[in-house]
Structure formats: structure tokens, C-alpha cells
């Protein structure tokens, strides 16, 4: 069965690159959600006037990977304790957010946050709210890391997150 998850944890290029490597992930689309305007552009989201976060929408096969597994990866590869920030990416658009699609996803998210709370020294500030609307990002943002592995941001920020995921979730990688 195919389900959908929508997550934001800083720059969407990082999340997309990691999740595309996992078994059971059918599709990852970078985009925007959690804001108050329709059809936002990258420039508008970066201007911090739309309320949107950079997110990825993940289609996954529940017979191969669970929503809980996806959240375990998510909470491992980004810092859910920094408000409106991931590393040098600062602003509401870089916030940690889970936009749930079902009541079951909400309950699983609450459980996983409770479990991860004992791992971090600071409180988890991940926003949890229902998905209202998802907007796909511009085409040049899709599959960005695979197309631009030698770009500076990809080398310095995306690649270390991919390496961390490969190290911690070896059993979940595509063969």
C-alpha cells in the first residue's frame, strides 16, 4: 500500500537526497507547505512572508518501510531542537515540521517525538500539524543533489546528511 508523508527539516535538498536512497520510497517531491498563501515561489518562501516551510512529500510502500521508520530517519538526520533553523539555514522556512495525513500518523509522530526526547539535550521543537496543502517546488529543486553533487552546499551540507543516513540505516538502503 502506498502512503504519503510530508516532512520539513531544513533545506529540502537534504531530506530528498536521504529519502531517495531508502528501500520502499517510491517518490520524493520537494515543495512547500504549512503556510498561508497559494502557489508560493522559492523566492517568496525565502522572503519569510508566506509562512511555508521547505518540505518533502514522500510516497512510500508500507510493505517495505513504515511511517515510523521514516520518522526515525527524519529525527536522526536533522536537529529537531533548533527553532526555525538548521545549521546556517535560518528562518521559519527551515523549521522542523511534520505535516500528518492521517490520525494514525499523528499518533505515531507523538510517540516518536516522545522516544527521541530522551536522546536530545534540548526540547524537541518540531511543529506537528495536519497537512492542508502541498505545493511542489520549482523543477530545478527536484532531485537536486543527484544532479548537483559537486555544488558547494551539496558537498558541505547535503553529503554529510546522506553519509549519516547511510551509516545509521544501512539495513534500509536500496540494494
User: What ranges do the domains of the chain cover?
Assistant: 2-172
CATH annotation of 2-172: 3.30.1060.10
d(CA 3, CA 59): 6
In whole numbers, what is the pLDDT of the chain averaged over residues?
96
Residue 154 is a catalytic residue: no
Q: How far apart are CA 149 and CA 128, in angstroms?
A: 31
What's the pLDDT at 96?
97
Q: Are strands 96-100 and 127-130 parallel, antiparallel or unpaired?
A: parallel
Measured between alpha carbons, how far is residue 15 from residues 1, 36, 92, 118 in Å? 22, 23, 17, 23
- How much of the chain, in percent, has pLDDT values that exceed 70? 100
What is the pLDDT at residue 18?
A: 98
Instruction: Give the model's pLDDT for residue 148.
Output: 97
Q: Which of the following is catalytic: 11, 14, 46, 154?
A: 11
Evaluate if residue 88 carries a pLDDT over 90. no
* Residue 139 clears pLDDT 90, i.e. is over it: yes
At 45-84, the pLDDT tens digits run 999 999 999 999 999 999 999 999 999 999 999 999 999 9
Amino acid at each position: 500500500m502506498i502512503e504519503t508523508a510530508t516532512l520539513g527539516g531544513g533545506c529540502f535538498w537534504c531530506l530528498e537526497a536521504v529519502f531517495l536512497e531508502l528501500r520502499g520510497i517510491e517518490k520524493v517531491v520537494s515543495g512547500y507547505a504549512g503556510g498561508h498563501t497559494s502557489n508560493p515561489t522559492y523566492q517568496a518562501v525565502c522572503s519569510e512572508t508566506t509562512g511555508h516551510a521547505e518540505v518533502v512529500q514522500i510516497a512510500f510502500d508500507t510493505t517495505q518501510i513504515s511511517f515510523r521508520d521514516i520518522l526515525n530517519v527524519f529525527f536522526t538526520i536533522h536537529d529537531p531542537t533548533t527553532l526555525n533553523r538548521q545549521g546556517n539555514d535560518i528562518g521559519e522556512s527551515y523549521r522542523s515540521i511534520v505535516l500528518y495525513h492521517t490520525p494514525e500518523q499523528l499518533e505515531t509522530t507523538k510517540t516518536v517525538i516522545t522516544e527521541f526526547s530522551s536522546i536530545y539535550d534540548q526540547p524537541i521543537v518540531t511543529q506537528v500539524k495536519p497537512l492542508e496543502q502541498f505545493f511542489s517546488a520549482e523543477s530545478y529543486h527536484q532531485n537536486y543533489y543527484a544532479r548537483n553533487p559537486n555544488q558547494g552546499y551539496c558537498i558541505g551540507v547535503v553529503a554529510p546528511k546522506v553519509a549519516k543516513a547511510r551509516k545509521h540505516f544501512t539495513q534500509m538502503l536500496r540494494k
